[in-house]
Amino acid sequence: MFAAAERRLAEAGQPEVLRFWAQLSEDERGALAATVEQQDPAELRAHCQAAARARLAGQAPLSGLMEPLPEEVIGGVSRTEAETLRRWRERGFQEISKGHVAVLLLAGGQGTRLGVPYPKGMYNVGLPSGKTLYQIQAERIRKIKQLAEEMLGGKCTLPWYIMTSEFTLEPTERFFARHQYFGLPQSDVVMFEQRMLPAVGFDGKIILEGKGRIAMAPDGNGGLYRALTDNKILEDMDRRGVRVVHVYCVDNILVKMADPVFIGFCVERGADCGAKVVGKAYPTEPVGVVCRVNGIYQVVEYSEVSQETVERRNPDGQLTFNAGNICNHFFTVEFLKSVTEEFEPKLKPHVAVKKIPYVDEEGNYVKPEKANGIKMEKFVFDVFQFSTRFAVFEVLREDEFSPLKNAESTGGKDMPSTARRALLWQHYRWAVQAGAHFLDSKNNRVPVLSQLQEMEDPPVVCEISPLISCEGEGLEERLKDQEFHSPLLLTE
């Protein structure tokens, strides 16, 4: 066991990983040896060297190379006539009804920034129903599948692939099993694991978080492409007849699952790769923007752009670089195959400089006060550059984007309260549009209000189960001209 690990680490240029071997128990030795066994020596050497080089090189500013998206690749809700949106929706439902569509969830991250020791998908933001993100998303899949079956007749399948990590696979599996997969067929929920990569010190050496434990981190949501190969996911999609995949990130409480309009738009355009975007809330909003750099489509992070570029405007006053990335994408299976077979090795990892707990040379546990190491990760959108038929679909933020990233204690944005508020505002709008009336404690009708920036919460609490409505459809028969007191919890 020791000899094999020693050989692999020597070949990788990382013999120091075993410096505490003599002090480890048999179980600890076995666990460390197993971690080492999972690493290819040549890849590990290249990974550590690349991390050290990348930190020294830094990131080149891209401002002077950026170009706005050409109009011909852009579609969107607010810029499209109702009849065209209806046609795209019908096309999307046709694809779903034929079993050509799958949904793929990126759920490898931990809930560290939320301050919880479990995966984000298990988080409850405090809705009246108490539903977690996983339950909300599962029920949206059930509803969209039901709508497709009702619209076009016959049964259909809509598989849900969930990419986890070493940190999230087991708790996610247990959670779904405990909740009977939220009413979905277990065979249609496919969980798989992305790779883990060692964290690297500024000297290019692997960081030990314990005497017998390497500090590991998921390889970013761009680790999807290696994971598809490692777990034979594309072969599984082929067996099921899947042709297009809707990929999204777990933390967006407003995400539309297998959105028929988005799918129909991309399929009709003949796109091999597509991205949903929202207009930036303000020029310096810290989100990446979808654009072109030297004629190639990509997402440019806000940290890579000058203030002048961030604030640049068109003659009509709109921001020149306004297509905010929300990690919500369309891929054909054929495109994913080309990425995994040809392009994935060409993806350049991104550098994340972090505070990483470690053991010092004497074996003492240290929690650093400043950044001391590097985590290398790839992003799912890094493959835009390889698309030959790229498409961008602009949606309204209040309808489709409210991410959950930070603990409530931060007092900033993207917190449980902001995610909950976004969903309750959306459901309040649906109810009012369907003709519902709300009463106060004295049975007087509550005035109808639009979502105002200065108002934090909607005037009443209204939550509508995804099993009843995906995006406000079909509510009139339940709500029109009816009066309700707050809170209204509309369940199936």
Of the pLDDT bands very low, low, confident and very high (cuts 50, 70, 90), residue 262 is: very high
Least confident among 58-72, 118-132, 183-197? 58-72
Of the pLDDT bands very low, low, confident and very high (cuts 50, 70, 90), residue 412 is: confident
Q: Is the pLDDT of residue 442 over 70?
A: yes
Q: Which two tokens stand for residue 129?
A: 């129903």
Q: Convert 227-244 to b/e letters by CB count within 10 Å (16 or more is b).
A: bbbebebbebbeebebbb
Of the pLDDT bands very low, low, confident and very high (cuts 50, 70, 90), residue 451 is: low
**Residue pair 37/17 in contact by the 8 Å Cβ criterion:** no
Q: What is the 3-state secondary structure (H, E, C) of 58-115?
A: CCCCCHHHEECCCHHHEEECCCCCHHHHHHHHHHHHHHHHCCCEEEEEECCCCCCCCC
Q: Where are the domains of the chain?
A: 63-410, 430-490
Q: Mean pLDDT, to the nearest integer, of 382-400?
A: 97
Closest CA to 319 of 278, 352, 353: 278
Q: How far apart are CA 48 and CA 54, in angstroms?
A: 10
Q: How far apart are CA 241 and CA 237, in angstroms?
A: 6
Q: Reply yes or no on domain 430-490 having CATH 2.60.120.1060.
A: no
Q: Is there a common fold for 63-410 and 430-490?
A: no
**Residue pair 487/440 in contact by the 8 Å Cβ criterion:** no
pLDDT recorded at residue 395: 98
Look at strands 462-464 and 216-218 and give their pairing. unpaired
Quick one: how far is CA 242 from the chain centroid?
Answer: 21
User: In the block, which residue shows the tokens 């009012």?
Assistant: 432
User: In the block, which residue shows the tokens 């997969």?
Assistant: 181
Q: Mean pLDDT, to the nearest integer, of 206-217?
A: 94
Cα dihedral 295, 299, 303, 308 in deg (nearest 10): 50
Mean pLDDT of the residues in the chain = 93
Of the pLDDT bands very low, low, confident and very high (cuts 50, 70, 90), residue 452 is: low
Of the pLDDT bands very low, low, confident and very high (cuts 50, 70, 90), residue 103 is: very high
Q: Is the pLDDT of residue 433 over 60?
A: yes
Q: What is the pLDDT of residues 342-356, one digit of tens each?
A: 999 889 888 888 899
**Residue pair 84/145 in contact by the 8 Å Cβ criterion:** no
Of the pLDDT bands very low, low, confident and very high (cuts 50, 70, 90), residue 224 is: very high
Q: Mean pLDDT, to the nearest integer, of 21-29?
A: 94
Please state, for a pLDDT cut of 90, what percent of the chain lies above it. 83
Q: How far apart are CA 321 and CA 64, in angstroms?
A: 13
Q: Mean pLDDT, to the nearest integer, of 120-134?
A: 97
Which CATH number applies to 63-410: 1.20.1440.60, 3.90.550.10, 3.40.50.2000, 3.30.70.330?
Answer: 3.90.550.10
pLDDT recorded at residue 305: 85
Q: How far apart are CA 292 and CA 309, in angstroms?
A: 14
Q: Is the pLDDT of residue 64 over 90?
A: no
Q: Mean pLDDT, to the nearest integer, of 442-470?
A: 86
Q: Which two tokens stand for residue 362?
A: 């004497």
pLDDT recorded at residue 366: 94
Q: Mean pLDDT, to the nearest integer, of 440-445?
A: 94
Q: Which helix (H) or strand (E) holds 229?
A: helix 224-230
pLDDT recorded at residue 455: 57
DSSP three-state, residue 147:
helix
Q: Mean pLDDT, to the nearest integer, of 298-325?
A: 91
Q: Which helix (H) or strand (E) holds 424?
A: helix 416-433
pLDDT recorded at residue 422: 96
pTM of this prediction exceeds 0.85: yes
**Residue pair 240/103 in contact by the 8 Å Cβ criterion:** no
pLDDT recorded at residue 453: 47
Residue 142 phi, psi dihedral angles, 5° rounding: -60, -40
pLDDT recorded at residue 350: 85
pLDDT recorded at residue 59: 59
Residue 488 phi, psi dihedral angles, 5° rounding: -110, 115
Looking at mean pLDDT, say which of 45-59, 70-84, 343-357 comes out highest.
Answer: 70-84
Closest CA to 351 of 109, 58, 62: 58
Quick one: how far is CA 425 from the chain centroid?
Answer: 22
**Residue pair 249/106 in contact by the 8 Å Cβ criterion:** yes
